[in-house]
């Protein structure tokens, strides 16, 4: 191999995963060789496969082949270090590849290594003891037999989520094992659904593994099972896959292709490439399929979408864990009791989140005792749901239920450490709430607001202790959306900020530090988008043309999104932004009429599909001289507006850098990982330089480093 393709040259910083082999005596059967994948770190540093790791595995397999041919061993198994099987390719190494030949060589090395394991002359087994992703799933697919722990919570092929394909046999082996429909669920559907993972039981139900054992005695049970298989006492039954029905096979692939195009607008090449590999898997030989995977892998590794996806993945894995600008965690105060002002839908969602994650007393207050009772009952239902799913035992459920209470008096917050208001989005109302709270809570109690657009500094003005007021903007639905915008007001002190970040981390939220400004990050950018698309409709472009322009940019068309967040909330947000920045944000007459009509959105659901509500479209008034723009023109105008707003936000130091804008838009607005969020897309399309005169990110950060 040339120096340019040598692992030491291409992946100089690879953390090598060793393939540690030990012999196990299977009573009455013979000697069994067990490979343990271990990079020498604990489970927080997953074992991965870079070139040196693949060579280490290949060397171990070569030695085991010789032993098998000499009759020394009766079988070979592979498992992982505690809590983790393997996390697939070394993505840090992939990010530094600069030549297609390098990517091609790494693909071929992975295929050759895994195929050598599959071709051992003795039965082969994979014992999936923990998380298995990408190549960590493809290696087990090469085993003759597979077992999984019931405790596994992350088993999947996330490659198309990032901008790759399962390139070490997954696109060929999986559909031939479980059928084309189930395979596409794992290869395409789940990754595009925010990288949904399978649990151990789900993997078993789909047929990806043959048997499941409990974690406590997992390896012992696996070895006993392997002994039974080798001795012929245990038979593994699998359903036959019909490879002869071309029409049925292609029909499933074609339907999946239509769904991908509808969701991504063709902007993501990886899932489309994966679909064609799966289509060809029906008739290809293993050698043909692996060569096709190598070519696809090499093409995609040298593509901009993968580099943007890797950048976004790094944000989600690293920056999300260490928020930029957050104070030292040692400054955080303990939170032993939480208060929530309000008892509406948002308040009950917050109560359940704090209760479930912190497991401390949570008390809601409201002037209406019936609303309080309804909110507490809602939290109790959430507890009961987890009990019904087997995720909570009775004792813990009873403790949680007893820990959530309600009161019509703010005095219930006297001993609270953290109080968050979730009342009507009106500055005067929120200021009055904080003034009333200050009279009953301790001076150290953090006062947080869940406002989505109002000034946190203005809320704190006039308080005796404005330094303990902080913005904690959660996104709806609270249990699902990962983002928490932590807003530093004018007087917010370090201890309060540290407590907000520590609490957000305990709530398992992605926290981003934001300077106090109208609508903060996500709602400000979505507000600019809202303002632009409504301006286009008011000027004469049909709603359906505008919505069709957003495939591959946002997770859903803007006028569908209005139905999710509510037209009134969208109107409030854009009106707040118009008041702050009248030159850039306009309040649409169409949106006002929709809100006044009481309509919940622009679309109706009919027979499982969305269709524009004719009563709403009748509210759109055509101007005397309508201006009708094309999809391309709509997209260009909106991207230009977003580029302008993002640059202004950075100039105003709303966040510490473009990375926080991208992390916020991915976790708070669902912007696609394969675009890198927002700023890599603006750079890649040239919009950033056209509108602002410069890129957001230097070349190579979220693009191919030529």
Active site residues: 138, 159
Place of tokens 């969208």: 570
Provide φ and ψ at 557, rounded to 5°. Answer: -60, 150
Alpha-carbon torsion (524, 529, 532, 533), positive or negative: negative
Q: DSSP for 458-472, please give it.
A: HHHTT-S-GGGEEEE
Distance CA 466, CA 124 (A): 65
Are 127 and 79 contacting, i.e. CB atoms less than 8 angstroms apart? yes
Q: Which residues, including other chains, have CB under 8 Å from residue 255's CB and lie 6 or more apart?
A: none
Residue 427: its H or E element = helix 427-438
Are 695 and 689 contacting, i.e. CB atoms less than 8 angstroms apart? yes
Q: Which residues, including other chains, have CB under 8 Å from residue 291's CB and lie 6 or more apart?
A: none
CA distance to 357, 373, 421, 422, 540, per residue, from 400 (Å)? 11, 16, 21, 21, 54
Distance CA 90, CA 94 (A): 7
Query: 483-488 and 30-38 as β-strands: parallel, antiparallel, unpaired?
Result: unpaired
Distance CA 563, CA 306 (A): 32
Q: Which residues pair with 84 in a beta bridge?
A: 131
Distance CA 546, CA 558 (A): 8
Distance CA 328, CA 405 (A): 33
Provide φ and ψ at 86, rounded to 5°. Answer: -165, 150
Tally of CB atoms within 10 A around 344: 16
Are 167 and 110 contacting, i.e. CB atoms less than 8 angstroms apart? yes
Distance CA 376, CA 152 (A): 33
**Strand stretches in 434-543, DSSP E:** 446-449, 469-474, 483-488, 510-515
CA distance to 95, 536, 590, 628, per residue, from 622 (Å)? 50, 11, 10, 11
Token pair recorded at residue 177: 């094992």
Helices of type H across 540-678: 543-548, 558-565, 567-580, 589-597, 614-617, 631-651, 658-669
End-to-end alpha carbon distance in the chain: 22
Tally of CB atoms within 10 A around 599: 17
Residue 551 in 3-state DSSP?
coil
Token pair recorded at residue 382: 């959430």
Longest pairwise C-alpha distance within the chain: 90
**Peptide bond before residue 477 is cis, with ω within 30 degrees of 0:** yes
């Amino acid at each position: 191999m040339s120096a340019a393709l040598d692992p030491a040259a291409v992946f100089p910083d690879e953390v090598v995963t060793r393939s540690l082999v030990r012999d196990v005596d299977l009573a009455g059967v013979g000697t069994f060789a067990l490979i343990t994948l271990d990079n020498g770190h604990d489970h927080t540093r997953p074992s991965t496969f870079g070139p040196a790791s693949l060579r280490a595995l290949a060397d171990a397999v070569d030695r085991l082949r010789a032993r098998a041919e000499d009759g020394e061993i009766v079988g070979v198994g592979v498992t992982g270090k505690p809590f983790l099987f393997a996390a697939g390719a070394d993505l840090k190494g992939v990010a530094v590849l600069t030549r297609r030949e390098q990517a091609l060589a790494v693909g071929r090395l992975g295929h050759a290594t895994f195929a050598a394991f599959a071709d051992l002359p003795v039965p082969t087994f994979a014992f999936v003891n923990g998380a298995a992703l990408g190549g960590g799933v493809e290696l087990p697919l090469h085993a003759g037999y597979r077992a999984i722990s019931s405790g596994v919570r992350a088993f999947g092929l996330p490659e198309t989520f990032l901008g790759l394909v399962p390139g070490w046999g997954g696109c060929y082996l999986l559909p031939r094992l479980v059928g084309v429909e189930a395979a596409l669920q794992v290869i395409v559907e789940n990754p595009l659904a925010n990288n949904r993972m399978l649990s151990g039981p789900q993997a078993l139900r789909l047929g990806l593994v043959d048997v499941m054992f409990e974690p406590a005695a997992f390896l012992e049970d696996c070895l006993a099972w392997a002994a039974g298989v080798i001795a012929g006492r245990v038979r593994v039954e699998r359903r036959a896959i019909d490879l002869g029905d071309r029409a049925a096979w292609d029909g499933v692939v074609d339907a999946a292709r239509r769904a991908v195009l509808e969701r991504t607008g063709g902007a993501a090449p990886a899932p489309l490439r994966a679909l064609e590999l799966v289509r060809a898997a029906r008739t290809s030989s293993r050698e043909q399929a692996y060569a096709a995977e190598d070519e696809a892998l090499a093409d995609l590794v040298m593509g901009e979408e993968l580099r943007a996806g890797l950048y976004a993945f790094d944000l989600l894995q690293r920056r999300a864990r260490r928020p930029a600008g957050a104070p030292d965690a040692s400054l955080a105060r303990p939170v032993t009791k939480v208060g929530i002002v309000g008892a509406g839908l948002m308040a009950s969602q917050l109560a359940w989140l704090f209760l479930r994650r912190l497991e401390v007393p949570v008390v809601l207050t409201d002037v209406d005792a019936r609303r309080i009772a309804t909110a507490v009952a809602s939290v109790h239902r959430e507890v009961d749901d987890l009990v019904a799913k087997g995720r909570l035992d009775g004792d813990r459920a009873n403790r949680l239920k007893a820990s959530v209470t309600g009161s019509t008096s703010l005095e219930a917050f006297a001993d609270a450490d953290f109080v968050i208001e979730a009342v009507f989005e009106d500055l005067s109302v929120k200021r009055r709430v904080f003034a009333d709270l200050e009279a009953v809570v301790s001076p150290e109690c953090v006062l947080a607001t869940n406002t989505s657009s109002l000034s946190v500094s203005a809320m704190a003005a006039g308080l005796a202790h404005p330094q303990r007021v902080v913005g904690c903007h959660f996104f709806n639905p609270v249990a699902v959306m990962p983002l928490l915008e932590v807003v530093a007001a004018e007087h917010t002190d370090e201890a309060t900020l540290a407590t907000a970040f520590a609490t957000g981390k305990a709530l398992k939220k992605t926290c981003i530090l934001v300077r106090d400004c109208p609508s903060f990050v996500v709602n400000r950018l979505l507000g600019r988008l809202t303002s632009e698309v409504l301006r286009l409709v008011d000027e004469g472009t049909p709603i359906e043309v505008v919505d069709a322009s957003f495939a591959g940019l946002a997770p859903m068309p803007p006028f569908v999104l209005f139905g999710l967040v509510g037209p009134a909330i969208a109107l409030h947000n854009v009106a707040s932004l118009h008041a702050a920045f009248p030159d850039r944000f306009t309040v649409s007459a169409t949106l006002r009429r929709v809100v006044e009509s009481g309509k919940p959105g622009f679309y109706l659901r009919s027979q499982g599909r969305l269709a524009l509500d004719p009563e709403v479209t009748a509210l759109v008034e055509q101007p005397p001289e309508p201006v009708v723009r094309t999809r391309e023109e709509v997209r260009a105008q909106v991207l230009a507006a977003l580029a302008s707003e993002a640059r202004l936000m950075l100039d105003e130091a709303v966040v510490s850098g473009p990375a926080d804008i991208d992390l916020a838009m991915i976790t708070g607005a669902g912007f696609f990982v394969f675009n890198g969020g927002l700023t890599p897309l603006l750079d890649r399309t040239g919009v950033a330089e056209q509108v602002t005169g410069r890129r957001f990110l230097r070349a190579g950060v979220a693009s191919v480093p030529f």
